[in-house]
Amino acid sequence: MSGEEKPKTTISVIKADIGSLAGHHVVHPDTMAAAARVLAEAKSKGILVDYYVTNVGDDLQLIMTHRKGVDSPEVHEVAWRAFQEAAKVAKELGLYAAGQDLLSDAFSGNVRGLGPAVAEMEIVERPSEPIVIFMADKTEPGAFNLPLFRIFADPFNTAGLVIDPKLHDGFKFEIYDVMEGKYVIMNAPEEMYDILALIGTPGRFVIRRIYRKKDDEIAAVVAVERLNLIAGRYVGKDDPVAIVRAQSGFPALGEILEAFAFPHLVAGWMRGSHFGPLMPVPQRYAKCTRFDGPPRLVALGFQVKNGKLIGPSDLFDDPAFDETRRLAQVIADYMRRHGPFMPHRLGPEEMEYTTLPQVLEKLKDRFVEARLYEVKGPKVKTELL
């Protein structure tokens, strides 16, 4: 049977913050159980092939496989109902910010634009199909820019780019402008410097998809929804998810995880308004308590076989990442000592969805024109402008 004739498997990871126990730090198990019941029903009806329900911090994560393709209204409706049922339980329990990411009461055929974040890819399964599901809390989609660049374009991280003939041709990066709603596809390594010129501004330019250059096979996908841009106000950071394929024509699992051994600074943390280190943690540490953080990242490894999810393996549950977590703690201490000052606090362009505009509005009549002076001549006299 040729590759074109094989059935395609779609992997969908859809998440939402539907309420948390005692603040913004962890999902209540009863809400996860409510969501799981909806997904179990969908599996029994043949809508889903398989599913796995988990959480990272206060985000409920739905990992699903099916044959419906990307952006399937049927699958997205299942996810929407799961979040609604979970939010209903959250409200009954009086959980904090119940239903926070559900920005509408009505489902319109797709959860995109309604609050939840979505990462999906449709693939023809290889004989062995290992994937990694990354799930972050207290940060934004651009948090994946640096590690994804290292995984798919940096030979100092990914040795396969140099020594593996299947990777040597490089990858294509689809970069999305979250402000303009446009994207551009760029090639690595040829356009490496131009790629960096864009993705070095992660609050605006976000890596959305990565393809293997030689055959356009999808390698990775990231949820790029920006909640504040959708809602027009601060409603929590976006807490993105990503799917990355591993091995046999893609970077090895160890090369993928190696990119997260450096806890780089990302936007988010407390009230979505601070820079802090992205800390890779095992599932048991996936709760954000210190200043609502620091930002956390969980990686779950699965094998996908005939649409079934085999696993997961909790990939950061490894002492090899203990030093990364220790460094993240040191960075967190350093950044916290800045208090409300930049560079710990985000710049004004990111603060426009917080209370900063309200403060400026309140003070607008108290601002007066400054008396500016200009330096004149060699004797450094000043003249009032």
pLDDT in tens, 342-355: 999 998 777 755 67
Q: Does the N-terminal peptide bond of residue 343 adopt cis geometry, omega within 30 degrees of 0?
A: yes
Decide if 237 is catalytic. Answer: yes
Burial per residue of 40-59, b for 16 or more beta-carbon CB atoms within 10 angstroms, e otherwise: eebbeeebbbbbbbbbbbbb
pTM: 0.91
Three-class SS state of 349: helix
Q: Are the CB atoms for 239 and 222 separated by under 8 Å?
A: no
User: Position of tokens 């948090």?
Assistant: 143
- The span from the first CA to the last CA of the chain, in angstroms, equals 81
Contacting residues for 198 by C-beta, under 8 A, at least 6 apart: 175, 184, 186, 205
User: Position of tokens 């009863």?
Assistant: 30
Residue 347, pLDDT score: 86
- Residue 2 is which amino acid? S
Decide if 238 is catalytic. Answer: no
Decide if 234 is catalytic. Answer: yes
The alpha carbon of 146 is separated from its chain's Cα centroid by a whole number of angstroms, namely 12
Catalytic residue among 237, 239, 292, 353: 237
- Nearest CA to 338 out of 270, 257, 384, 259 is that of 270
Residue 99, pLDDT score: 78
Question: What digits encode the pLDDT tens for the residues 296-330?
Answer: 999 999 999 999 999 999 999 999 999 999 999 99
Catalytic residue among 51, 52, 234, 353: 234
Q: Are the CB atoms for 175 and 205 separated by under 8 Å?
A: yes
Q: Are the CB atoms for 333 and 294 separated by under 8 Å?
A: no
User: Residues in the chain with pLDDT < 70?
Assistant: 1-4, 101, 103-114, 226-237, 352-354, 371-385
d(CA 375, CA 330): 46
Catalytic residue among 15, 17, 59, 239: 17
